[in-house]
Structure 1
Amino acid sequence: MSHASSAALASWSSGLCGCFSDVPNCCLTFFCPCITFGRIAEIVDNGNTSCGSACAVHAILGCYTGCGCLLSCLYRSKMRKQYMLKKSPCEDCLVHLFCGMCALCQEYRELHIRGYDKHSRGVTMAVPKPEGGMSR
């Protein structure tokens, strides 16, 4: 990658170790990382992958092979390309291999900060709240 194209890449909105800035998501990811992964996959795939199916695939892969991080790594790469995010702090697969839960928390926080939210009926954009009241 050339220096000019790397300058166009954005930094993540929060750090890899910023898990406790979203305690509910941190706890959910700690106890059931497949659910956080499912939410991320549904948003990154623009609703073409359901949260439930992505969650199941991640859980099965993790339970039977111990390699759920490989699937998570692929989605981190896909998400980085969509939002032009830097590889940080290192290659995507290394981040998921050594800090998988922190990576899932960071990815979900990034999507949430960008206005995406997962609801029971698919992916929606959060509507920005107007500042102040209406005036004439």
Structure 2
Amino acid sequence: MTLDHRNPKGLPFDQNGKRAWSHDIFSCFEEIGTCCISTFLPCVTYAQNRSRLQHLQAHGTRHPSGGEPFNQDCFVFGCLHACAGLGCILQIGQRQAAREHYRIEGDGGNDFLCSWCCLPCALTQEAREIEAEEKSY
């Protein structure tokens, strides 16, 4: 049996070929470092998650530096979040991209609610999903 790097925990797929997240949305406190960064500097976690996922999609390997926390994505997210509290709008799209990459069940409404109501938890959950794939290589 070969390891599915996008599902290293071997979670079952439903009839639509989708699975659950590897970690529950409220298990973010199990990864307290990422949770704290996501709470106080969500732009950093957003940018890092985005660069890590893009690298995995393009190269099939982990990002050599663990992701880029301070880049254009961080700046745009930070400006939107600081000026209008709307950084979560970018996270909705990023969460959808992660769900599609990992074949995780859900929809845009769920992405919106998680990103709007509990942004640090959503960012941490996504970071943990990416980390699980990275560790499988």
Query: Smaller-chain TM-score range?
Result: 0.7 to 0.9
The structure whose RCO (Cα within 8 Å, separation 6+) is larger is 2
- The answer on whether the counterparts of 2:88 and 2:115 sit within 8 Å (CA) in structure 1 is yes
Matched position secondary structure for 1:114:
helix
| Cross-structure match for 2:34 | 25
**Greater share of residues in strand:** 1
Q: Quote the offset at 1:4 in angstroms.
A: 3.4
Deviating above 2 A after TM superposition, structure 1's stretches of 4 or more consecutive aligned residues are: 44-51
Give 5+ residue unaligned stretches, structure 2. Answer: 1-13, 59-66
| Cross-structure match for 2:55 | 46
Provide the rounded CA distance (Å) in 1 between the counterparts of 2:40 and 2:68: 20
Q: Quote the offset at 1:76 in angstroms.
A: 0.2
Q: Quote the offset at 1:127 in angstroms.
A: 7.3
| Cross-structure match for 2:98 | 79
User: Which has the greater radius of gyration?
Assistant: 1
Report the number of matched residues: 113
Which of these residues, 6, 12, 27, is aligned with residue 21 of structure 2? 12
Matched position secondary structure for 1:23:
helix
| Cross-structure match for 1:62 | 81
Provide the rounded CA distance (Å) in 1 between the counterparts of 2:96 and 2:50: 12
TM-score, normalised by the number of residues in structure 2? 0.73
| Cross-structure match for 1:133 | none
| Cross-structure match for 1:98 | 117
- Partner deviation per Cα, 1:78-135 (whole Å, 9 max, x = no partner): 11111111118x61111111111110010001111121xxxxxxxxxx575xxxxxxx
> Structure 1 residues 127 and 11 mapped into 2: Cα distance closer, same or farther (>3 Å)?
closer
Greater mean deviation of Cα atoms: 91-100 or 79-88: 79-88
What letter corresponds to residue 77 of structure 1 in structure 2? Q
TM-score, normalised by the number of residues in structure 1? 0.74
- The answer on whether the counterparts of 2:38 and 2:119 sit within 8 Å (CA) in structure 1 is no
Percent identity between the two aligned chains? 27
Give 5+ residue unaligned stretches, structure 1. Answer: 116-125, 129-136
Match status 1:113 vs 2:124: no
- The answer on whether the counterparts of 1:19 and 1:106 sit within 8 Å (CA) in structure 2 is yes
- The answer on whether the counterparts of 1:44 and 1:75 sit within 8 Å (CA) in structure 2 is no
Matched position secondary structure for 1:86:
coil
What letter corresponds to residue 80 of structure 1 in structure 2? R
Provide the rounded CA distance (Å) in 2 between the counterparts of 1:45 and 1:70: 19
